[in-house]
């Protein structure tokens, strides 16, 4: 006999488990097609499953003029994907008791004090979730400089580039490069080392991210591995080379990395803080970083500690993108499924392509298929009639 209350049953989706060969064919076709359509010169790609690198490779050209092909070892600027790396380093110090996420950050800063608003103090929790209340600007062209002499150290950046505090700490999410620069300064302070050197000798070393670096400009031995950066002019159909443009918010967006470097970082976060048998962060710390820590509204997707929640295509996804107005990148993790996908492009038009490729992967291997069975209370003589609604992908 049908129940007297509305009931909705959903059939769980059965995602496909593609082989390496199938995945490589899929991404080769998709990436090549999108790059041609969007006039992208070169790309870097990695996909991991649990603790295994499935694919790490390059596409297109590192140098368009010389027709030099991109390999898995070429370095791309990854923009704001630097933030999850910076946050991971900070959380190690949190585990060690060096910092309390809910403490007034001014307790830790020695050279400068951050402002308050409405008697609310800024904490590391606020900085990590972009809720400190600092103003910022979009697009973020002001992060770039063509003069290496203009690049400030992390400490100098914190002291000299503080923006206005426009909302109360903890009130709203407002993306802040300055906030993550403060996090970098705190890592520097706790480690008693220059930020870039500490990251190179510790987290990046532990994860075998051997060519990844926060250094700007790149040292000679890494400059040789770096791809050129291009801006495409849609009106003329020509490319302008912007290879010697630097990100000046170091801790927030200055990382250059290869596909293999980023594969290792993703595996750390997909394996509860463990990398090749070494526990870098505790599982509960990884969970804290991944879980939403703030929502602008209960019905909106939230932000964790350097990861953004995205229920794209009905899946539980965390991600972070990066764009420098020249380079574009995206990193998507599916912790429950064990997938991690990273892609970067060396052309300004690549920002749209990165998202499209992620969507195509989900459409193909995690299609939204739901069978909803709605049972309504009916007169006794019609109690055997059920109303069924079927929703197919699309």
Q: What is the pLDDT of residues 223-265, one digit of tens each?
A: 999 999 999 999 999 999 998 888 889 999 999 999 999 999 9
State the maximum Cα–Cα separation within the chain, in Å, rounded to a whole number: 84
Strand 238-241, strand 387-391: pairing = unpaired
Q: What pLDDT shows up at residue 17?
A: 82
More confident residue, 382 or 86: 86
Confidence class of residue 144 from pLDDT cuts 50, 70 and 90?
A: confident
Omega within 30 of 0 (cis) for the link into 56? no
Q: Which residue has the tokens 């918010």?
A: 249
Q: Is 114 helix (H, G, I), strand (E, B) or coil?
A: coil
Report the mean per-residue pLDDT for the chain: 89
Long-range contacts of 311-319 (CB under 8 A, 24+ apart): 312/358, 312/359, 312/362, 313/359, 313/362, 313/363, 313/366, 313/367, 313/368, 314/13, 314/366, 314/368, 315/362, 315/366, 318/290, 319/358
Q: What pLDDT shows up at residue 375?
A: 37
Tokens standing for residue 116: 């308050």
Radius of gyration of the chain (CA): 23
Helices (H) and strands (E) in the chain, counts: 12, 17
More confident residue, 372 or 293: 293
Taking only the tens place, the pLDDT of each residue in 313-338 is: 778 899 999 999 899 999 999 999 99
Q: What pLDDT shows up at residue 142?
A: 52
Q: What pLDDT shows up at residue 7?
A: 39
pTM: 0.89
Fold of 20-373: Beta-lactamase (3.40.710)
Confidence class of residue 311 from pLDDT cuts 50, 70 and 90?
A: confident
Burial of residue 134, with CB atoms counted within 10 A of its CB: 0-12 exposed, 13-18 middle, 19 or more buried = buried
Q: What is the mean pLDDT of residues 80-87?
A: 98
Confidence class of residue 378 from pLDDT cuts 50, 70 and 90?
A: very low
52 alpha carbon, distance to own chain's centre: 20
More confident residue, 139 or 91: 91
Is residue 134 scored above 80 in pLDDT? yes
Of the ranges 7-11, 114-118, 208-212, 231-235, which one carries the lowest mean pLDDT score? 7-11
């Amino acid at each position: 006999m049908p129940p007297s209350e509305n009931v909705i049953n959903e059939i769980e989706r059965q995602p496909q488990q593609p082989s390496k060969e199938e995945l490589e064919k899929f991404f080769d076709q998709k990436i090549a097609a999108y790059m041609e359509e969007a006039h992208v010169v070169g790309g870097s790609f990695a996909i991991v499953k649990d603790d295994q690198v499935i694919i790490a490779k390059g596409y297109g050209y590192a140098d368009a003029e010389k027709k030099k092909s991109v390999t898995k070892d070429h370095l791309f600027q990854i923009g704001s994907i630097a933030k999850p790396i910076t946050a991971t380093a900070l959380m190690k110090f949190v585990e060690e008791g060096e910092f309390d996420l809910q403490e007034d950050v001014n307790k830790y800063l020695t050279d400068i004090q951050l402002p308050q608003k409405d008697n609310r103090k800024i904490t590391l929790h606020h900085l990590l979730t972009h809720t400190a209340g600092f103003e910022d600007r979009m697009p973020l062209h002001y992060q770039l400089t063509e003069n290496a002499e203009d690049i400030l150290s992390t400490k100098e950046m914190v002291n000299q580039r503080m923006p206005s505090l426009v909302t109360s700490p903890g009130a709203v999410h407002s993306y802040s490069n300055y906030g993550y620069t403060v996090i970098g300064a705190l890592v520097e302070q706790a480690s008693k080392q220059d930020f870039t050197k500490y990251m190179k000798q510790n987290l990046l070393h532990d994860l075998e991210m051997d060519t990844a670096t926060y250094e700007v400009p790149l040292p000679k031995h890494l400059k040789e591995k770096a791809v050129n950066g291009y801006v495409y002019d849609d009106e003329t159909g020509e490319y302008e080379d912007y290879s010697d443009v630097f990100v000046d918010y170091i801790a927030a967006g200055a990382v250059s990395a290869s596909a293999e470097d980023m594969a290792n970082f993703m595996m750390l976060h997909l394996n509860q803080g463990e990398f090749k048998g070494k526990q870098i962060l505790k599982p509960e710390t990884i969970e804290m970083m991944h879980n939403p820590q703030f929502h602008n509204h209960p019905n909106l997707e939230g932000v964790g500690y350097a990861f953004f929640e995205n229920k794209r295509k009905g899946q539980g996804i965390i991600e972070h993108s990066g764009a420098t107005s020249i380079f574009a990148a995206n990193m998507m993790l599916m912790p429950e499924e064990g997938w991690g996908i990273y892609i970067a492009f060396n052309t300004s038009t690549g920002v749209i392509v990165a998202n499209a490729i992620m969507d195509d992967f989900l459409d193909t291997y995690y299609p939204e298929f739901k069978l909803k069975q709605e049972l309504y209370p009916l007169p006794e003589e019609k109690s055997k009639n059920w109303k069924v609604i079927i929703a197919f992908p699309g």
